[in-house]
Structure 1
Amino acid sequence: MSCQTASSLSNHIAPIIGYHRAPLSQKFGAPRQPNLVALTSVIEMIAPYDTPAAFIGLEDFSYIWVSWQFHHNYLYKDKQANKADSSFRAQVRPPRLGGNQKIGVFASRSMYRPSALGLSVVKLEAIEIVEGRVLLIISGADMIDGTPIIDIKPYVAYSDALPDAQSGFAPSAPHLLEVTVTKVAYEQFVQIIDNQHIHNEAEKIAHNEKATVKSVIHKMQKQLLMPDLDNIKALIAQDPRPAYRQKEVNTSFIMRYKSVDVSFQLIGSGELQITDIDTI
């Protein structure tokens, strides 16, 4: 194979077929693997891939494979901007190993990989047709809001589930920390929900309660509900703090969720405590 032919085959351009719309707009707080937290989100398909005919039969599958781009990966951003810094990195430091031990990038699921591609199995909750367009309602995604979607395929249990597989340095799910909520933070959360409810009722009256793609996505991205507090606690229980800072007591960290910033810290008893919930 000539150098010219090899070079022409070294890059493959895949179309973006949709975008992930979710409660998490930042990397901090996002689950490091799929199905660790049952967050509900939406894949908004875009033209011409949003035609309902392309999804006939998918409703018979309970899980799907999603191929996607790590669009907040700074190496990917450098590459998009044609910067020279986006060179290949052979090793990474997985958080699961404390952020200190290096392993090969192809022995990890790190976002800093040559293709900048992620692959996740998520639960398919529903296929909705809104304004003639397809919206896939999913749960368990480890993607953040705005993630470009490259492909969708059905998950087939007899071939895709391998119960005897070895899982290297990640043989089991990560240990969860206990998460508590201060009275102040809980009252803040309830007040924000009440304020949003009043606003949303006015919006429904103004628009005759007709569902649109925009309204479905807005609800997923911004509208707080009481069950969201359980989602917030489940995300924080994964301990999104950098590995080298996980012993810091009384140091505040902020996770953005939907329309709020959630402040939490490790307290003396060894639990993570939510101290403040503020509207963005």
Structure 2
Amino acid sequence: MSDDNMSLDNSHHAPIIGYHRAPLSQKFGAPRQPNLVALISAIEMLAPYDTPAAFEGLEDFSHIWISWQFHHNYRDKDNQQANNGFRAQVRPPRLGGNQKIGVFASRSMYRPSELGLSVVKLERIEIVQGRVLLIIKGADMIDGTPIIDIKPYVAYSDVLLDAKSGFAPIAPTLLDVVITEAAYEQFILLASVGEPAEVSNNDASHSSIKSVPKSATVASMVEHIQSQLLISDIDAIKALIAQDPRPAYRRREKETSFIMRYKSVDVSFWLIDSGQLQITAVVAI
């Protein structure tokens, strides 16, 4: 390498343009890939990137690409000091958590850039008090994830029908999820019956721009997404647990309790003799 190349600054600094607002505040339970669970969440844009003019035309696209930052990473301090934080190989859960592959052959969070890339469904664009809030579905990001960029998904170039997917050729197998009667009663007592109109699921065939009532604020809409437990959330909770968020090396352990935090509750579950994952408790945080 020449001295000229060695002197170049190999870092790049990108602004944070918004934050992801979601029901999941912890990594445990979050989908490992986008569009595996149809969770509704939102992107709260920051000034000056929250101006509606910056999103004109985006409503004509059904899906968007999101560049984002892994902000809950844990790195081994000794390894970080020895290798400037670079981890050349990782153990993907898809391979049982034991087999190593190169970091650039994976979608591991432990990347040199700490950047993630996801394609999600754009449900609609909300204009709230002159600010933009993107309502999306299928994100694999947790609450508070910094957003770096947003681009429209273009089917004719982004869909590659002859693509090969290496060690992950098909979607992972889902487990059956059941809930005890006691846990379901706990959930019902904590959940609200109605679903807020501002952030509810809809089956529209394309996204749209929507101005919400004047009484609505970004803060109130974000609160609904982050913490208001709804009756319909039981389906989302089951879908998340069906992905089996447990560490790969502990998936044979029976009746070992794991806890997934969802909105305002901690959901306990474990593996039972039938091979199903059973929800055993739903407790307010």
* TM-score, L = length of structure 2: 0.89
Moved more, 4-13 or 99-108: 4-13
**What does residue 19 of structure 2 align with?**
19
Structure 1 residue 92: Cα displacement: 0.3
The residue matched to 2:229 in structure 1 has which SS?
coil
**2:36 and 2:138 in contact (8 A); partners too:** yes
State the 1:60 CA deviation: 0.2
Q: Deviations over 1:151-210 (max 9, x none)?
A: 00000000000111000000000000000011011110110015x97xx9xxxxxxx981
Which of 165, 175, 178 does residue 176 from structure 2 map onto?
Answer: 178
The CA distance in 2 between the partners of 1:52 and 1:10, in whole Å, is 34
| Residue type of the alignment partner of 1:29 | G
Deviation by residue 1:219-277 (Cα, 9 ceiling, x = unmatched):
00000111110000000000000000000000000000000000000001110000000
The 5 Å alignment of 1:37-56 reads: 37-56=37-56
**Amino acid across the alignment from 2:50:** D
The amino acid of 2:18's aligned partner reads G
What does residue 118 of structure 1 align with? Answer: 116
Cα distance, 1:107–1:130 mapped onto 2, change above 3 Å: same
1:61 equivalenced with 2:61 (yes/no): yes
SS at 1:84 equivalent: helix
1:15-57 CA-to-partner distances (Å, cap 9, x unmatched) read 0000000000000000000000000000000011001100000
Identity %: 74
Compare the two structures and name the one with the higher helix fraction.
1
Distance 1:58 1:96 in 2: 34
1:245 aligns with 2:220: no
The amino acid across from 2:189 in the alignment is Q
Relative to structure 1, the CA distance from residue 271 to residue 138 in structure 2 (aligned partners, 3 Å threshold; closer, same or farther) is: same
For the residues of structure 1 that align with 2:246 and 2:7, how far apart are their CA atoms? 40
Shift of 1:131: 1.2
Tell me which of 214, 218, 235 is aligned to 1:213: 218
The CA RMSD measured in Å over matched residues stands at: 1.9
Native 8 Å contact 2:129 2:214 kept in 1? no
Distance in 2 of aligned mates of 1:84 and 1:90? 14
Residue in 2 that maps onto 1:97: 95
Structure 1 letter corresponding to 2:114: A
In the alignment, the residues of structure 2 paired with residue 193 and residue 34 of structure 1 have an alpha-carbon distance, to the nearest angstrom, of 26
- 1:7 Cα offset (Å): 4.3
* SS at 2:225 equivalent: helix
Deviating runs (4+, > 2 A) in structure 1? 1-9, 83-87
* 1:231 corresponding residue in structure 2: 236
* Secondary structure of the corresponding residue to residue 9 of structure 1: coil
Amino acid at match of 1:144: I
Contact 2:65 2:118 (C-alpha < 8 Å) held by counterparts: yes
Write the distance in 1 (CA, Å) between the matches of 2:64 and 2:3: 38
1:29 aligns with 2:29: yes
2:158 maps to 160
Aligned residues: 265
Please give the secondary structure, in 2, of the residue aligned with 1:49.
coil
CA distance in 1 between counterparts of 2:18 and 2:238 reads 29
> What is the CA–CA distance in structure 2 between the aligned matches of 1:246 and 1:103, rounded to whole Å?
21
Are the structure 2 counterparts of residues 62 and 7 from structure 1 closer, same or farther at C-alpha, using a change threshold of 3 Å? Answer: farther
SS at match of 1:150: strand
- TM (norm. structure 1) is 0.91
Q: Does 1:262 align with 2:267?
A: yes
In structure 1, how many angstroms separate the alpha carbons of the residues matched to 2:7 and 2:27? 33
Distance 2:242 2:15 in 1: 36
Question: CA 1:116–1:162 in structure 2 vs 1: closer, same or farther (change >3 Å)?
Answer: same
Whole-Å Cα distance in 1 between the matches of residues 58 and 234 of structure 2? 31
The corresponding residue for 1:274 is 279
